[in-house]
Amino acid sequence: MPSFVVLEPPPIPNPPPDGNGFVCIPPGIFPVTIQWSDRWQKPVPHILNVPGRTAIEWHPGNWPRNTDGCGLIGKDFGDQPDYVSQSDASFTALMAILYRGAALTNQNAPEPEQIWQVGSVQYFDPQATPMKNLALLAVMLALPLALMAQTPAPSPTPFAGTSVSFGLTPITLPTVGTTLAGAETDTLFHFTNNNLVGATVLVSSSTFVGGRYNRIFPSISTWLQNHTALTGNQFEVGYTASFGVIEASKTQWGGRSGFFVNYALNGSWAMGFEAQANYLPGMNGTQKWVPSIAVGPNFRF
């Protein structure tokens, strides 16, 4: 696990022109989020709940003149006073670690409004001897230990928003007497981040029209992201169930249930795979549950 140091204001205020009048963060454990920085025009870590302070960020910088009171991330303190080395590279490495364990709280928000919950950081007493401009405050990042014990959350999903799916089920399964073949269209809307509802239409020897529910399981997508070569957080895995009416010579109730896997090709298109059990009397010539496998595109908007 990489280690980092933080250059901070001294424990005793040092007013201008030598300092900026701020003091270092006191000893304690503080929540950490990743949020947009108006100054840096990109997401950076924010330290929360610091007594008497707001908008405390960690960002790149080597010297006291590079901050107005925030922490400067570096690899080490080097051989010069009030200085941290390799700040840009260290900041990039730190952000990669934090994002691996962060959870996005408002998934559909634009980037400047997104808030990532990271964990906490523990600050210790600064060095007893104050420096001229900024004290060299070694911070123990309690973050990695806490984060590695968690299942990392995925980056922003490419599957947010309304989806229209088109599926074909032309496959006859080996050793299965009867399978379902047909064409399907679904239009689904998010009512929470991981739950979707909408309409489904399946056209085969008869037509099935009903409502559909999809439940997404982000933990499975995350496992694929972190334990296989399938990277990019481009997978969506979940459970699906439908209930509706079969419009045949005799109108009857029917239902379907199973699982699905979608793979994002870009921000708008994905390919989907579904395996379901179907109870559609009058459509497939039997009153029993029969299987189906569907493959087709998804369009997101």
For the chain, the three-class secondary structure string (H helix, E strand, C coil) is CCCCEEEECCCCCCCCCCCCCCCCCCCEEEEEEEEEECCCCEEEEEECCCCCCCCEEEECCCCHHHCCCCEEEECCCCCCCCCCCCHHHHHHHHHHHHHHHCEECCCCCCHHHCCEEEEEEEECCCCCCCCCCCEEECEECCHHHHHHCCCCCCCCCCCCCCEEEEEECCCCCCCCCCCCCCEEEEEEEEEECCEEEEEEEEECCCEEEEEEEEEECHHHHHHHHHHCCCCCCCEEEEEEEEEEEEECCCCEEEEEEEEEEEEECCCCEEEEEEEEEEECCCCCCCCCCEEEEEEEEEEEC
Instruction: Of 118, 70, 78, 127, give the one whose Cα is nearest residue 94.
Output: 118
pLDDT above 60 for 174: no
Q: Which residue has the higher pLDDT, 55 or 79?
A: 55
pLDDT above 80 for 136: no
Which domains does the chain carry? 5-148 (no CATH), 163-300 (2.40.160.20)
Confidence band (pLDDT; 50, 70, 90) for 249? low
pLDDT, one tens digit per residue, over 147-171 is: 433 334 444 455 555 666 666 655 5
Q: Which segment of 144-153, 192-201, 254-263 scores lowest on mean pLDDT?
A: 144-153
CA atoms within 13 A on the CB side of 75: 10
pLDDT above 80 for 203: yes
pLDDT above 90 for 25: no
What is the share, in percent, of the chain residues with pLDDT greater than 70?
71
**How far apart are alpha carbons 188 and 274 in whole angstroms?**
15
pLDDT, one tens digit per residue, over 76-97 is: 877 777 888 888 888 988 888 8
Confidence band (pLDDT; 50, 70, 90) for 100? confident
Confidence band (pLDDT; 50, 70, 90) for 209? very high
Q: Which residue has the higher pLDDT, 17 or 84?
A: 84
CA atoms within 13 A on the CB side of 79: 0
Q: What is the reported pLDDT for 120?
A: 81
Mean pLDDT of 36-59: 89
pLDDT above 60 for 186: yes
Q: What is the reported pLDDT for 65?
A: 79
Q: What is the reported pLDDT for 144?
A: 41
**How far apart are alpha carbons 57 and 34 in whole angstroms?**
9
What is the share, in percent, of the chain residues with pLDDT greater than 90?
12
Q: What does the block give as tokens for 10?
A: 């001294």
Mean pLDDT of 104-117: 85
pLDDT above 50 for 131: no
**How far apart are alpha carbons 66 and 60 in whole angstroms?**
8
Report yes or no: 60 and 91 within 8 Å, Cβ to Cβ. yes
